[in-house]
Structure 1
Amino acid sequence: MGPGRRTLLRSVVTLLAASCAAAGTLAQPSITLVPERVSARAWMFRGEPGMASAANRGFMSNAGFVVTGDGVVVFDALGTPALGRGIVEAVAKLTREPIRRVVVSHYHADHVYGLQALKAAGAEVWAHRRSLDYFASGLAAERLAQRRADLFPWVDETTELVRPDVLVDGDTSFRMGGTTFRIIDTGGAHAPDDIMLLVEGERTLFAGDLLFSGRIPFVGNADSGKWLAAIERLIPIGPAAVVPGHGPASREVARDLALTRDYLAHLREAMGRAARELEPFEDAYAKTDWSRFRALPAFEPANRINAWGTYLRMEQESLDPARK
């Protein structure tokens, strides 16, 4: 959609919203979400493949929830207020229990812009202490402005970024309705404020963007060394099912953990050697053997970006060993 058509659409929607407001109603886009069952008490909402866009309504990430018997715990809020309302409405169709808590995997736009709807429903927002750095950096305002332009009308001037009510730092546990939850602090792997949520007993893990099912991850400029360390911590836990940040739930968890671990290790080995030897990125990328991963979903859009981000990080680590 060109700038002229986007401006026209924005004007039309603004006029419609004003008309509805004058009539005593509020025009808000809506989405009906259908949860998929993961385990006895856990459910997930699975986003569509691809990048966030107005065409897919910003619905390209996952969220989940657990019905405890004394309230509902939600993990992540999806990427628009309409999607957040969709979570609230879908949960209400499944149970009369209120949504008491939302645990945020990390403050990336596709996981948090639904928070305002969950907050309005009475939920308490939990996130890592390092999420406050995101608000202080200026990046939060920049990303919201970008999303308002790219995802209009799903993200607009009424969209707000909700701050956490409770900050966690390090591993911690809590109970609700007889269910024990363990928050796992990854130490800043995919994002500085990454956390995962393990449902004890059922061994269901909400992993955020740290694990994917049968595809390569999006690494970008993430700290792949810390990411590998987080994966090593998960192996002895032995989750029975994993809800990733994108794509289907994993029930072959050992396979998917090994795939993600091996891919990250391959990136670090190849790009690390190139960085140490001062080999140009283009040459290093061209000569690296990607055959094991080339046929996997997301390879084409993600692998080159992953390699470049890892190359830059390995350059930094070679110059400053303290960053390792």
Structure 2
Amino acid sequence: MARAFASQADMAEKKITFSRLSEHAYAFTAEGDPNTGIVVGDDAVLVVDAQATPKMAHKVIEYIRTVTDKPIKYVVLSHYHAVRVLGASGFAPQHIICSEATREMIVERGAQDYKSELQRFPRLFDAAETIPGLTWPTITFADRMSLWLGKLQVDIIHAGRGHTKGDTIVWLPEERTLFSGDLVEYGATPYAGDAHYKDWPETLQKLRDLKALALVPGRGDALMGEGAVEEGIAGTQAFLGDLYNAVSRSAEAGDSLKQAYDKAMVALQPRYGNWVIFEHCMPFDVSRAYDEAKGLDHPRIWTAERDIEMWSALEKA
């Protein structure tokens, strides 16, 4: 019997944790659901990743208001995926910031991604009817920019291609606190349906070079201490390497996508099968790895229709 599609069967509510990472930084996490980062500056608040709907953004605001009444002026998008960006209007920010490459992805495939992710993650799109449409940035940047929240320096950096081509991190240099978006996951399976597998390790090395003391991954618990930060980065990199190596061997051998998927599941299940959304991510991850191994650099657009077609092909007995 085929598995339920993506995360449609995952309807259990998750326990929210709101933790302080450093003097100005907080993490909103929920047992492997998408995380949101919060930076409380001298005169304003900056939010990193906006959740999937305005209603879910309001839940984050409830926690923010337990530590500050300063205005939420900025939302930074780590990348373009709907579960990260469509709740931005709920924060009513003055500015929405993302890399130029992320804006290009919104233009190219934001509408398709919205429909695709809504179908994959029904629980995460609580009150989807409140979404006003696609989230568009008011500020974009090429490689990096800095904001000053009073005396607090906040660096916003397009780290390189990895999870998507536009991945952006937020870095507090004085506190060595990092918000990685989905470039790093902890105890959660990296979604790589729009990934650049060959570039991702180099991008992760740029994160390592910062020598963060605290890191908020895209999913999973906040990581405190250099050892825990390295564990998160290394675990993400190991998964990506193991998956791409397995799939590329299949592609080179002339295996079909279905054959590559079955072999990858056998290879990765023992080590990673207990990670959050493993069974959800693997069909998408293998599909993208197979394309990249075959020489397709720019990921194909996922649509709601393509999702179902792919899932049916790979999950059949």
Counterparts of 1:113 and 1:291, CA distance in 2 = 32
Matching residue of 1:44: 27
Matching residue of 1:22: none
Report the CA distance shift for 1:292/1:201 in structure 2 as closer, same or farther (over 3 A): farther
Aligned pairs for 1:45-64 (under 5 A) are: 45-49=28-32, 60-64=33-37
Deviation of residue 79 (structure 1)? 0.9
Amino acid at match of 1:164: P
Counterparts of 1:207 and 1:81, CA distance in 2 = 22
Amino acid at match of 2:79: H
Deviation of residue 104 (structure 1)? 0.9
Matching residue of 1:102: 75
Is 1:132 the equivalent of 2:103? yes
Amino acid at match of 2:223: S
Matching residue of 2:4: none
Matching residue of 1:276: 252
Matching residue of 2:268: 290
Aligned length: 275
Deviation of residue 243 (structure 1)? 0.7
Counterparts of 2:86 and 2:248, CA distance in 1 = 36
Amino acid at match of 2:236: T
Counterparts of 1:142 and 1:283, CA distance in 2 = 27
CA contact (8 A) 2:239 2:272 kept: no
CA contact (8 A) 2:178 2:212 kept: yes
Aligned pairs for 1:30-179 (under 5 A) are: 35-49=18-32, 60-119=33-92, 122-137=93-108, 139-140=110-111, 143=114, 147=118, 150=122, 154-156=127-129, 159-179=132-152
Counterparts of 1:142 and 1:185, CA distance in 2 = 21
Amino acid at match of 1:161: L
Counterparts of 2:25 and 2:130, CA distance in 1 = 33
Report the CA distance shift for 1:46/1:158 in structure 2 as closer, same or farther (over 3 A): closer
SS class of match (2:204): helix
Matching residue of 1:216: 189
Amino acid at match of 1:310: A
Counterparts of 2:131 and 2:233, CA distance in 1 = 39
Deviation of residue 154 (structure 1)? 0.6
Counterparts of 1:286 and 1:34, CA distance in 2 = 36
Give the superposed CA RMSD.
2.9
Matching residue of 1:267: 243
Deviations 1:145-187 (A, max 9, x none): 9749956761116533331111011123232222222222133
Counterparts of 1:35 and 1:227, CA distance in 2 = 29
Counterparts of 2:259 and 2:122, CA distance in 1 = 35
Aligned pairs for 1:231-246 (under 5 A) are: 231-246=204-219
Report the CA distance shift for 1:117/1:285 in structure 2 as closer, same or farther (over 3 A): closer
Q: Comparing 97-106 with 212-221, which one deviates more in the overlay?
A: 212-221
Matching residue of 1:229: 202
With the length of structure 2 as denominator, give the TM-score of the two structures.
Answer: 0.76
Report the CA distance shift for 1:113/1:235 in structure 2 as closer, same or farther (over 3 A): same
Counterparts of 1:97 and 1:48, CA distance in 2 = 28
Report the CA distance shift for 1:48/1:113 in structure 2 as closer, same or farther (over 3 A): farther
More strand by share: 2
Report the CA distance shift for 1:302/1:161 in structure 2 as closer, same or farther (over 3 A): closer
Q: Which runs of 5+ in 2 are unaligned?
A: 1-15, 298-317
Q: Comparing 185-194 with 134-143, which one deviates more in the overlay?
A: 134-143
SS class of match (1:210): coil
Deviation of residue 303 (structure 1)? 3.1
Is 1:314 the equivalent of 2:293? yes
Q: Comparing 216-225 with 302-311, which one deviates more in the overlay?
A: 302-311
Counterparts of 1:155 and 1:127, CA distance in 2 = 23
CA contact (8 A) 2:180 2:218 kept: yes
Matching residue of 1:255: 231
Report the CA distance shift for 1:193/1:280 in structure 2 as closer, same or farther (over 3 A): same
CA contact (8 A) 2:189 2:275 kept: yes
Larger radius of gyration: 1
Say which structure, 1 or 2, has more relative contact order (CA 8 Å, 6+ apart).
Answer: 2
Deviation of residue 198 (structure 1)? 1.0
SS class of match (1:188): coil
Amino acid at match of 1:39: S
Deviation of residue 292 (structure 1)? 5.8
Identity of aligned residues (%): 27
